[in-house]
Amino acid sequence: MDDLSMSPDEIDDFLSGPHTGQLATNGPTIRPLWYHWDGKAFWIISGPWAKLYERVQKDPRVAFCVDVGDFDTGIVKQVIANGSVTLHEYDVERARRLLYRYLGPDEDAWSDAPDDYRGYLRDGGPPGAVFLHMEPTKLTALNFSYARTRA
């Protein structure tokens, strides 16, 4: 079998796509999340309104999985990261980069979303908002993609 590992450039390209990631904390619990990948670490918005915020303060060890399985195109990729989360001050510009990735650059259109995400960019963000930062201590990235044939 061919080597299924992804190169660092392939990892960055994949993680730069608008995929959701699933974060698992000790408990275990798992939740889908939007994230920003800066080439070295994952950044996730959280705050006192979220159980995740409380959980990672009690035990910062997490596993994070970003995957796609598109069986129409044959694209099947996964990145699994393990590490510990640290809390960082909320950064509106980092939040903007994260939200643009998922919602696009037209901030006025964000008001049509179930949550008016524009509040994440106003007045320093939501009260108590922080960024969770996880620089992986272990990262596994695999590409199981295949050429899709039509019957």
Closest CA to 122 of 83, 95, 87, 151: 95
Question: What are the distances in angstroms from CA 19 to CA 14, 37, 45, 79?
Answer: 9, 11, 15, 11
Using the 8-state DSSP alphabet, how is residue 100 labeled?
H
Give the model's pLDDT for residue 151. Answer: 61
**Residue 2 reports pLDDT greater than 70:** no
Q: Tokens 């670490």 label which residue? A: 41
Q: CA-CA distance, 105 to 126, in Å (whole number)?
A: 20
The domains of the chain are located at 8-143
CA distance 110 to 106: 7
pTM: 0.85
Q: Say whether pLDDT at 133 is over 80.
A: yes
List pLDDT tens digits, range 70-128: 988 899 999 999 999 999 999 999 999 999 999 999 998 887 666 778 889 988 889 99
The CA-based angle 103-109-114, given to 5 degrees, is 70
Integer Cα distance of 59 and 43 in angstroms = 17
Angstrom CA distances, 39 to 43, 64, 112, stand at: 11, 15, 31
How far apart are alpha carbons 147 and 41 in whole angstroms? 31
The CATH number given to 8-143 is 2.30.110.10
What is the per-residue pLDDT for 122? 87
Can you tell me the mean pLDDT for 4-19?
Answer: 91
CA atoms of 149 and 71, how far apart (whole Å): 11
